Structure 1
């Protein structure tokens, strides 16, 4: 688990977990390009509109090669009819039809017709879309508010979005104005008022004015979460505070971000969890882990995934080929043959794995 995974995990927690689709910290757009290539021919089935009000949360599912949405009880609310569908964000879900991306509302109505080669979820009322070879941003009506002009982009976070101009990264505001010049080789979104930036082969953190507040001296790092960020010093990982002061010494082989008071850490070839004092409270006995979400964390023993609580007790035994974190009471699980389902916190399926 490295810096890229750390940043990805944070974004997933901020924007909700999107099934088993992961995010690259430089830009969410790389994987959207991948999923775009995987899109199948559009369904000829007419769109089915739900008649009842939408539930508070909907979850994407796949059935017979098409994707739709269920509620938290496992009841189909939007019939599977899309080639690809991502979780709802800010009231809209990104869907793919005929290799084009558009957006639907929770009633299943298309509000922004599928027309983009690639696109991202809505974040802070804007979504990144690709036209030709350039990226820009639309608002929730589908109007282009920042014209396509960037080579790569990230979602807006804390009022700013990272964009690539030439071969360097900088940041723009919602008006599309460059407010932090493109001086960086790699960047992260802003988190807790700071963003990780790379110059050459070293990392530090800047504030929204572009001022460096954590010196660019680390070999790798993560975004800030719960007031701390993990940093690599030589071949070991430590944790620093917002001033750059080392709070937990560099004793770990790999780390993740803090979530719900704990951070996953690797010691030797096994993973456990540390608290903010640097005390390992859950012994490193797992082959892989994820961060805590809704009181539980996914852990891998051998080649199967299960879930533990904050005492380290296994509450859902390792039995899944893949598993994602809990969000809104459900967790995505998958099998090696590509079937995806949902379980509740007792481990009971509310949607049996399908593909």
Structure 2
């Protein structure tokens, strides 16, 4: 490890964590009714049981009840998607790999769109709960289909076959959602489908945010425990095996783990693009390819990016909310173009 990388390993994570905390405090106060940061902090401290601090009821309702779940939820979703992208780019050695590599978003869209367009209930649920449940089941069905198609005769999970199977399942799912939306001919349903496919954290409440937070933290702990083994993949499977890495077991564990986390996130907020693709590249360009630093930094930067993307989505146009996927694409594309120009021909890649 170079002196610069060693210095970054100590300084970068605490600095990014501080930026994230400040971003949360500021974002909680931004909206049609502005709440100063000191009153935001007072509301949070009061809710944490540190005293009353003279918090007004209206501030508590705005900061904690209305904005709190979506601001914290956006950070959680951003962290999860960014880490999934970092892991999958390493496993497949594919710079374009992202959390939706295994057709997860298309599978979730099949379930969600079926409920939205046809108006059916699912598992005894209705409304947004039915959309979430159907989205998760659709994502799991897509994962099973991809794994069945990708597994070789000896049970090996080839990266190339996995990517191709993911593309095939994604195309089938996209064709289904387009066909059923067109045949239904309902403009309101079409608008809801478009909003879902572009992503939104507006529907998150504290119970769903807490659930996603627990799932994401557990996944990040698992990913972090395998950081050293992921580093070995930077030099190829042969090198990883020579270093004692159980390649197939690791690939199965991480492929399924990233798919499960992505399915949970997509089921609640829809398909939020670009975060899992761009953030790992940004972090890797700064910190290098080592996963002990790459994974936590990807989580923090992804959280910051999606938090501010959501803040822009709900405040940029008065009285309207822009789909968060539009904001992440607008922010992510210039960064990606800059990275491509910076790395030059043949120099980009997960291996650093």
- Identify the TM-score tier after normalising by the shorter chain: under 0.3
Query: Which of the pair is proportionally richer in helix?
Result: 2
TM-score w.r.t. length of structure 1: 0.24
TM-score w.r.t. length of structure 2: 0.24
